[in-house]
Amino acid sequence: MLPTEAAWQPIAFGALIREIGKVPWSLREETRAPGQGEIQARARARGLPEVRWPPGWPAHSYSVVPLRAVLHAFDEGRGKELTLALYEREFAEGVALDDPDVIVETAEAVGLDGPRLRAVLQEPEIKQRLRVATEEAMRRGVTGVPTIAVGDELFWGDDRLEDAARALAA
């Protein structure tokens, strides 16, 4: 949808919303079902698979483990592939990403070394990189995911992708 390749940057959304004091639509009982309905409609309109929400999504299935794994995957040149595979597991298959075995299995399917990934997930350096990326997102004013930055302008939400594309094309 975007006229150029985007730079993907994982952040710890749970830490971000806690720090800025935001309660997203997905964590409020009165807005979760309508929000999910909107996302399902956009997925259909974009020709994507039917959305299947993991059990307990989002509060009981959230984990920083997939975010750390994606950081490592980018180091190995497989970040985009792992991100897309994890999204497919979570939202097309309805599998929660809070189990490290699921993350490693998915990573191996896109060509990453599973035992090496298991070791990396526990390294202080990968944890620190995720904290730094999250702090940078907060500094820039990110309040939700996905966010696309076009210069200093932020476009938050999958419903703003077309707006970001127009800004990038301009």
User: How far apart (Å, rounded) are the C-alpha atoms in residues 124 and 147?
Assistant: 26
In a domain, 158, yes or no: yes
Q: Report how many domains make up the chain.
A: 1
In a domain, 2, yes or no: no
Which CATH number characterizes residue 119's domain? 3.40.30.10
In a domain, 4, yes or no: no
Question: Structural domain of residue 161, as residue ranges?
Answer: 13-169
Nearest to 147 by CA among 163, 139, 158: 158
* pLDDT tens per residue across span 133-170: 999 999 999 999 999 999 999 999 888 989 999 999 98
In a domain, 8, yes or no: no
Residue 165: C-alpha distances to residues 6, 20, 49, 55, 168 (Å): 11, 27, 22, 33, 5
In a domain, 1, yes or no: no
Q: Taking the model in full, what pTM does it have?
A: 0.92
In a domain, 7, yes or no: no
The backbone torsions φ and ψ at residue 101, rounded to the nearest 5 degrees and listed phi first, read -65, -40
In a domain, 159, yes or no: yes
- In this structure, what token pair is assigned to residue 155? 């476009």
* Percent residues over pLDDT 70 in the chain: 100
